Structure formats: C-alpha cells, structure tokens
C-alpha cells in the first residue's frame, strides 16, 4: 500500500521546534513533506539549517499544509491553533494547551491579580479552542510527550492488562532553570513552574487515571479537587546565589506542589521546581492495589559512566541540564526516545494520515489546564482545597 503524504508547517523556531523536526525525520507511518517554517524570530536560521522555506505569514503556511506544529510560546497557542482548525487543518499544540497571560495590561504582574481571573480566562480560552475543534475536520493533537514516554506506556499496559486501581501517584519535573528568555514572565508562560514543568507529571497522572477508568467502566476517572502551595525561592531576599541555579525570574513561582484528589477519592502529588541540580529530574511513581511502578523518564540507569576529567567529555552530550560531566553520570543513549518525542509525533501522524484515535486529545489537555489554574487559586489561599471545573 502506498504511504500517504502529509504536508507539514512548523510555527516557532526555538527549542521545541528543533526537537519536533528531529522527530519528524523518524515518522514511519506517512511521508512527511515539511513545507516550511513561520516564526516571529529565528525562522531564517532554522530554515537554512534544515533546507526548508521561510513563510512570511501564518495564513500562507496554514494554506499550504495539512498540519501545523504549534511550537511558539504559550500565549500564541490559542490563536494559531484556531486559525488552523478554521481551515480544517490539524494543530499539534505544544504544552501547555493555553493559559492566562494577563490580557492587554502593560503593567501586568503575575503576583498582583486574583487567580480566579486566571482560571476563568484560561477556561474561556480552552472553550474557544474546543469549539473551533468541534466545527473543524482537523483536530487538536496535544503534544504532551510524557504520555508517549516508553515507561508511561508500559505502565498503561500494566494497568489495562491487570485491571489495577491506582491509589496514589507522586511525580516531579525539575531542573535548574529553563533556557528561554521569556520564561520567568507570567505574561509569556501563563504562570510559573507549576504550569511550565508541573503540566508534564500532572498530565501523566491524569492520563493513567483516565486509562484505569476507561478500562474498568468505559469512562475516564477525572480530577475533582486540588490543594497547592507555590513559592519563589530564588527571589527570597536571603537566597544565596552561587551561580548554579537560574535566578532572574520576574513574577513567577519556581517551586510548586499540587495535591490532586480524583473523582474516586484516590490521589496524586505533583512537584515542579527550578531549583534542582544534577540534571533534569523527571519521574512518576504509581502505587496501585496490585503493583508499584517507578517510571524514571530522566535520568535513568540505561547507562552509567565514570569520567575522571571534565575535558574528556567536551564533545559528548550526556543528559539534559547536567551541571558537570565529571565523575559518575547517567548518559542517555537516546534521550528523545526515553522522553517520548518521536513516539508522540508518530502517533499524531497515524491520526492525521490514518484517522487513528489519539491518546493526548484536547479533553486531557483541558483537564490539565483546569487543574493547574485551580491549583493557583489554592496557592493564593495558602493551600485551601479548590474544586476543579469541568
């Protein structure tokens, strides 16, 4: 059978646009014809390195393709995805799906507004996106790579085949600070570390409870309420900066914890922070009624290396965000694979080319947004429980 060809456009030319392009090279289920890139900044260089065309408008690139990869900063996700859906195109949307970015106010500061406003506005944005999707022949394909990480998919298999009941999950995404210049400003990121990093382990936890409910009763078990605390540790007056942790945030949290209660009374505790040294720290532990699993997304012990001299490894990529390559380390022999990037893009192209259902649909993305902005209300109330809107 002849492979279908999918015409592709990349929106954004930064960090995520790069790993999306790498994953596109590995798609098996369809021929991928990358038509080009559109970005506010960096498009020329990105296009030159990859031998693709630069578009000068969003409209033109959408016109020429079947799917856009929305790899632009979070505040633009809604408008780009809706523009694509209106023309019956697919939109692969990076995390977070959308959010609250402070409206048009020039003086907006993430610390000085009622967090209920953030929840209401973010949910209104989600609603507009879901309505556009309903009217479209295209779909929102939510790019939450954790769901496609091999360890999370293995856990899905265990839950499905053993009929497990998950009682408690705890997980974390953390490192020593994100690279992007816009990170650190609520108005670009839609919040602090609770949304930018917390969305990953949270969505994995929401997903596994969905899988459990889907298997047992044919419907997902959804999050019901959340309790949260957030902190800005690197902005404490007495923070002693020794240069290892990024510490130039404007108005965001750099530490957060969410305690999520699901409809069936079971729970998840999700940590996210920008204060962890020693490389990226991404894991989810599942305590079920019939098994216990620890998904070590990054680092893991697939490889352990001892290097006596830092300079030996000057040309060796070891693992994301590691501070030093000297001594013992856990190099990732295929970091993208352990992180789920190629698997998620393959899954999305199976949906686009062959109509297969997608695990990370807009409903899962919407539950993530509802939970996180409810958590910001809880944090504002110093940890009071907040009911999550559906």
Ligand X SMILES: NC(=O)c1ccc[n+]([C@@H]2O[C@H](COP(=O)([O-])OP(=O)(O)OC[C@H]3O[C@@H](n4cnc5c(N)ncnc54)[C@H](O)[C@@H]3O)[C@@H](O)[C@H]2O)c1
> Which of the stretches 12-20, 115-123, 130-138, 148-156 binds ligand X when contact is defined by CB under 6 A?
12-20
130-159 positions binding ligand X, by CB under 6 A: 145
**Least distance in angstroms from the C-beta of 386 to ligand X:** 24
Q: According to the binding rule CB under 6 A, does residue 59 interact with ligand X?
A: no
- Cβ proximity to ligand X: between 40 and 316 the closer is 40
Q: Which of 24, 72, 118, 275 binds ligand X (CB under 6 A)?
A: 72
- Cβ proximity to ligand X: between 212 and 359 the closer is 359
> Which of the stretches 48-56, 72-80, 121-129, 350-358 binds ligand X when contact is defined by CB under 6 A?
72-80
Q: According to the binding rule CB under 6 A, does residue 91 interact with ligand X?
A: no
Q: According to the binding rule CB under 6 A, does residue 73 interact with ligand X?
A: yes
Q: Which of 76, 153, 296, 326 binds ligand X (CB under 6 A)?
A: 76
- Cβ proximity to ligand X: between 182 and 300 the closer is 182
Task: Kindly report the three-state secondary structure assignment for every residue of the chain.
Answer: CCCCEEEEEEECCCHHHHHHHHHHCCCCCCEEEEEEEECCCCHHHHHHHHCCEECCCHHHHHHHCCEEEECCCHHHHHHHHHHHHHCCCEEEEECCCCCCCCCCCCCCCCCCCCHHHHHHHHHHHHHHHHHHHHHCCCCEEEECHHHHCHHHHHHHHHHHHHCCCEEEEEEEEECCCCCCCCCCCHHHHCCCHHHHCCHHHHHHHHHHHHHHHHHHHCCCCCEEEEEEEEECHHHCCCCCCCCCCCCCCCCCCCEEEEEEEECCCCEEEEEEECCCCCCCEEEEEEEECCCEEEEEEECCCCCCEEECCHHHHCCCCCCCCCCCCCEEECCCCCHHHHHCHHHHHHHHHHHHHHCCCCCCCHHHHHHHHHHHHHHHHHHHCCCCCEECCC
Q: Which of 3, 31, 42, 323 binds ligand X (CB under 6 A)?
A: 42
Q: According to the binding rule CB under 6 A, does residue 202 interact with ligand X?
A: no
Q: Which of 6, 11, 67, 388 binds ligand X (CB under 6 A)?
A: 11
> Which of the stretches 5-13, 83-91, 222-230, 318-326 binds ligand X when contact is defined by CB under 6 A?
5-13
Q: Which residue number places its CB atom closest to ligand X?
A: 14
Q: Which of 10, 39, 211, 388 binds ligand X (CB under 6 A)?
A: 39
Q: According to the binding rule CB under 6 A, does residue 14 interact with ligand X?
A: yes
- Cβ proximity to ligand X: between 118 and 164 the closer is 118
Q: According to the binding rule CB under 6 A, does residue 190 interact with ligand X?
A: no
- Interface contacts to ligand X, rule CB under 6 A: 11-17, 38-42, 71-74, 76, 94-95, 145, 180, 182, 196
């Amino acid at each position: 059978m002849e492979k279908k060809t999918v015409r592709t456009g990349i929106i954004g030319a930064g960090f995520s646009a790069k790993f999306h392009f790498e994953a596109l090279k590995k798609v098996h289920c369809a021929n991928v014809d990358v038509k080009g890139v559109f970005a506010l900044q960096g498009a020329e260089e990105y296009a030159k390195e990859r031998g693709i065309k630069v578009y000068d408008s969003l409209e033109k690139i959408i016109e020429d393709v079947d799917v856009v990869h929305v790899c632009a900063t979070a505040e633009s996700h809604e408008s780009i995805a809706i523009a694509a859906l209106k023309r019956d195109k697919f939109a692969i949307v990076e995390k977070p799906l959308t959010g609250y970015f402070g409206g048009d106010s020039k003086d907006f500061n993430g610390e000085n507004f009622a967090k209920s406003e953030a929840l209401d506005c973010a949910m209104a944005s989600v609603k507009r996106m879901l309505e556009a999707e309903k009217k479209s022949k295209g779909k929102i394909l939510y790019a939450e790579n954790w769901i496609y990480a091999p360890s999370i998919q293995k856990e899905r298999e265990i839950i499905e085949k053993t009929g497990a009941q998950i009682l408690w999950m705890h997980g974390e995404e953390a490192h020593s600070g994100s690279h992007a210049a816009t990170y650190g400003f609520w108005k670009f990121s839609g919040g602090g570390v609770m949304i930018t990093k917390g969305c990953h382990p949270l969505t994995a936890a929401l997903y596994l409870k969905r899988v459990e409910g889907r298997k047992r009763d044919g419907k997902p078990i959804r999050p019901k309420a959340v309790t949260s605390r957030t902190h800005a540790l690197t902005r404490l007056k007495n923070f002693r900066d020794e240069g290892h942790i990024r510490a130039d945030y404007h108005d965001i949290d750099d530490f957060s914890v969410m305690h999520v209660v699901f409809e069936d009374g079971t729970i998840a505790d999700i940590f996210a922070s920008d204060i962890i040294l020693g490389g990226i720290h991404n894991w989810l532990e599942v305590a079920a009624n019939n098994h216990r699993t620890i998904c070590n997304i990054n680092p893991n012990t697939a490889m352990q290396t001892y290097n006596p001299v830092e300079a030996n490894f000057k040309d060796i990529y070891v693992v994301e965000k590691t501070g030093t390559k000297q001594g013992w380390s856990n190099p990732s022999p295929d970091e993208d694979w352990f992180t789920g990037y190629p698997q998620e893009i393959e899954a999305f192209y199976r949906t686009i080319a062959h109509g297969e259902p997608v695990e990370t649909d807009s409903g899962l993305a919407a539950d993530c947004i509802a939970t996180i902005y409810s958590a910001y209300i809880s944090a504002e109330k110093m940890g009071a429980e907040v009911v999550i809107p559906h």
